[in-house]
């Protein structure tokens, strides 16, 4: 839900305060962000070369296909940590979402074969490692969209690897 404003045009007291820089919506990514409101992770897909595209574009940078060749698919939400760093000096980045505690910035390879930056949350920072199986979780933004974060995979244990891809 979007924050409300007072009748005099000033911010009401219930206006959510962002704890991180909230992402703009790019020219080609409106469907992605709309789906996040329903906790759905979409991946843009090229049906001509049968590959995922990230970040969303107006054409496929791998084969050049555009228009009808592009569609949106629901991702499994599962992935593998490709690279990870713990930011031990949050004051240097100016973020407040970690309450001053160290946090993990990672690149995650989704099962669909695309890679995205994220934070890995829900476990001690020292537990996060390259190759770790993770799954999507959602953090609300102030305008009703949600930001995809990742957390250690539940249930499947380490078996949820990078293989596969939804065809």
Partner 1 sequence: MPRVDRTLRGASAVVGIADDVSPTGELDRTGRALEVAMILEALDDAGLSLSDVDGVCHAESSMGLAEYLGIHPRFTDSTMTGGSSFEVHLEHAAAAIAAGVCDVVVSVYASTPRSDRTQKRPVTRRFPGGPNPMAEWEWPYGMRMPMGPYALAASRHMHQYGTTSAQLAQIAVSTREWAVRNPRARYQTPLTIDDVLASPMQSSPLHLLDCCLVTDGAGAFVLASAGRARSLRKPPVYVLGAATCHDHMMISQMPDLTVTPGTVSGANAMAMAGISPAEVDVLMGYDSFTITALLHLEDLGFCPKGEGGPFAADGKLGPGGSLPMNTNGGGLSFTHPGMYGMFLITEAVRQLRGEGEARQVPGAQMAVAHGSGMVLSCMSTAVLGTEATL
Binding residues for partner 1, rule: CB under 8 A, are 20-27, 29, 55, 82-90, 92-93, 95, 97-98, 103, 105-107, 115-119, 129-131, 147
Query: To the nearest whole angstrom, how small is the minimum distance from the Cβ of residue 9 to partner 1?
Result: 27
Query: To the nearest whole angstrom, how small is the minimum distance from the Cβ of residue 26 to partner 1?
Result: 5
Nearer to partner 1, 100 or 155 (CB): 100
Would the CA dihedral through 1, 119, 125, 121 be positive or negative? positive
Nearer to partner 1, 77 or 80 (CB): 80
21 half-sphere exposure, CB direction, 13 A CA radius:
6
Query: To the nearest whole angstrom, how small is the minimum distance from the Cβ of residue 155 to partner 1?
Result: 24
Query: To the nearest whole angstrom, how small is the minimum distance from the Cβ of residue 132 to partner 1?
Result: 10
Query: To the nearest whole angstrom, how small is the minimum distance from the Cβ of residue 1 to partner 1?
Result: 20
Nearer to partner 1, 10 or 21 (CB): 21
Q: Of 130, 121, 127, 133, whose CA–CA distance to 162 is shortest?
A: 133
Nearer to partner 1, 5 or 127 (CB): 127
Q: Of 86, 93, 46, whose CA–CA distance to 68 is shortest?
A: 46
**What number of H helices and E strands is found in the chain?**
1, 8
For residue 55, whether the previous peptide bond is cis, meaning omega lies within 30 degrees of 0, is yes
Sorted by sequence, the CB contacts under 8 Å of residue 95 that are 6+ apart come out as: 19, 20, 21, 103
Nearer to partner 1, 108 or 153 (CB): 108
């Amino acid at each position: 839900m979007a924050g409300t404003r007072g009748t005099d045009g000033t911010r009401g007291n219930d206006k959510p305060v962002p704890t991180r820089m909230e992402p703009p919506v790019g020219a080609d990514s409106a469907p992605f962000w709309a789906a996040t409101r329903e906790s759905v992770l979409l991946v843009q897909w090229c049906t001509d070369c049968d590959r995922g595209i990230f970040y969303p574009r107006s054409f496929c940078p791998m084969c050049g296909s555009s228009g009808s060749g592009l569609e949106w698919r629901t991702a499994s939400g599962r992935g593998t940590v490709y690279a990870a760093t713990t930011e031990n000096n949050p004051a240097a980045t100016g973020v407040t979402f970690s309450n001053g505690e160290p946090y993990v910035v990672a690149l995650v390879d989704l099962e669909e074969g695309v890679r995205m930056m994220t934070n890995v949350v829900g476990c001690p920072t020292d537990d996060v490692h390259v190759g770790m199986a993770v799954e999507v979780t959602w953090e609300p933004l102030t305008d009703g969209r949600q930001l995809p974060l990742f957390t250690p995979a539940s249930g499947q244990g380490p078996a949820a690897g990078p293989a596969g891809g939804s065809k």
